[in-house]
Amino acid sequence: MYILSTLFLVIVTGLLYIYWFFKESHKFFDQYGIPYPKPHWLFGNMKDVVLWKKAIWFVYKDLYDKHVSDRFVGVYTLHRPGIMVRDPELIKSILVKDFSHFRDRGFPLDKEAEPLAVNLFSMTGDEWKNMRIKLTSTFSSGKMKMMFPLLKRCAEDIQPALKKYMEEGQDFEAKDLAARYATDVIGSCAFGIDIHSLQNPESEFLKVGRTVFASRWQQIVRGLNPKLPTSVIKYFKLQFFPVQACDYFLKLVTDMVKYREENNVTRGDFLDILIAMKNHKDLEKLKDQQDEGDLAKFMAQIGQKTIKSDVEMTIEVMAAQSFLFFIGGFEGASTTLMLLLFEMAQNPDVQNKLRQEIISTLESNGGEFTYDMMKKMPYLEMVLSEVWRRCPTVPFLMRECTENYRIPSTDAVIKKGIPVIIPTLGLQMDKKYFEKPDEFYPEHFTEEAKRERHPFVYLPFGEGPRVCIAERFARMQVIVGAVYLLKDFFFELSPKTKVPLEFAPGGAVIVKGGVWLKCRTL
């Protein structure tokens, strides 16, 4: 009886301590003059995320919408305080002007626990800066022009894939088709292999890749607790990405690098550039005069004049960058193309106008699609910008305060170590900045509309020194896919698609039930 009583007392005491600890933690903002919504005693402001009811970016959007009069607002992730910034001028200061106070994302991956953690996204401090300097030239327009033929070859498989659906009288799921195209592109450009998953949807590369984006409770745990100890991550198997998938990509890069070096093979892709860096070579075909301009811009942004990059390009580092390339290229492109086709099916007038622009542009060059022609389709750029407005590639940006920062024109202080959230989706769906936020309206991106709008309310790829380094590639990948999808086909919604779309909770953008479409040739 004594043992049971003692055990009961210990449990009750432990629970009371947890309750007290969380309640005390939720008083953090009181001492710094920062407004905040009332948090749940255990979940903070993330109850819907923890209970798997909403994706975290929708929670941030809800908080953004509820605090119209506030420039910034405190947010609790469980007991951990963070600050969500709503004011575009303050956002500009954080991302650009005062970047030195906010240069880390606040989501470091543990090198020991995460097989491919040494990537540009998760790196911090000087390690990130040195890697960014080393990779700056990787995505210059000259490098993109070099990779353009590889993308075209992948996109040429779109037409037979769609015709097969038509011949069989089947509807198709838009993200599945887009993901197969994205997989072919990333396989070719980042890993140097021809996958042809548009022809073979059962390819091993595609299957392994999909496991990376499958909803996993481990991702939620890591998202809510980004700085767990290595021992905890390993013991409870809380790796952000599946270890088996990481091992697969590491072996793939190892094998491809060995084959190319032993056989003196080059393809003009991302892996060629990494191999050149590894071997300290300046390959003639990889030279690009724009490299210096991109590097000079970055150095000016970080306030550094001398170049020092002592990052060793090991196989592990190369695999980590290729894996990051895969993550961004697979999920970002497949989601964008899925939503593009959905909006075209919903807005046939826009679809017809866009198709006419694509066809007339191709006809002006004898039907041949070239790299330079991508800049000659302004309506396509408007349409894609509107897709990214309604579902940005990065629905929210994260930065971590690296030294105490007094918010301009206030007495409020962001303490060192506090994460800062920039709710991209909230900003881009705000009627204060966009005339028809709940409609698909490409005219949001006329030259006049863009001039009248604050530049830091539209941030689909981020901004400042930590802007998405592969933005040029991402745009090229989507534009090429869009041209090959729309030049020969007309898309309509299938009865299987539930409108309005409902998004599943989790890390990736997943539409419940999928986006099902019908297509016909013109």
CA distance 350 to 254: 46
Q: What is the pLDDT of residues 90-120, one digit of tens each?
A: 999 999 999 999 999 987 777 777 778 778 8
Q: For residue 49, which of 395, 429, 390, 504 has the smallest C-alpha distance?
A: 504
Residues 80 and 407 sit within 8 Å (Cβ to Cβ): no
Return all residues near 186 (Cβ < 8 A) that are at least 6 apart: 325, 326, 329, 330
10 CB burial (10 A radius; 0-12, 13-18, 19+): exposed
Greater model confidence, 305 or 504 = 504
Q: Is the pLDDT of residue 355 over 90?
A: yes
Distances (CA, A) of 427 to 16, 17, 445, 502, 510: 40, 39, 15, 20, 21
Percent of the chain with pLDDT over 90: 55
CA dist 42 and 98 (Å) reads 33
Q: What mean pLDDT do residues 39-49 have?
A: 93
Give the integer Cα–Cα distance in Å for 306 and 424: 33
Locate 171 and state its tokens. Answer: 């509807």
**How confident is the model at residue 114, as a pLDDT?**
79
Q: How far is CA 504 from the centre of its chain?
A: 17
pLDDT for position 18: 81
Helix (H) or strand (E) holding 492, with range, is: strand 489-493
* pLDDT at 140 (0 to 100): 85
Contact 494, 513 (CB under 8 A): no
Tokens standing for residue 362: 């191709």
Q: What is the pLDDT of residues 142-191, one digit of tens each?
A: 888 988 999 999 999 999 999 999 999 999 999 999 999 999 999 998 88
Distance CA 440, CA 422 (A): 23
pLDDT at 350 over 90: yes
Condensed to tens digits (0 to 9), the pLDDT of residues 364-404 reads 999 999 999 999 999 999 999 999 999 998 899 999 999 99
- Rounded CA-CA distance 477/150 in Å is 10
Helix axes of 141-155 and 174-190: crossing angle, nearest 10 degrees? 130
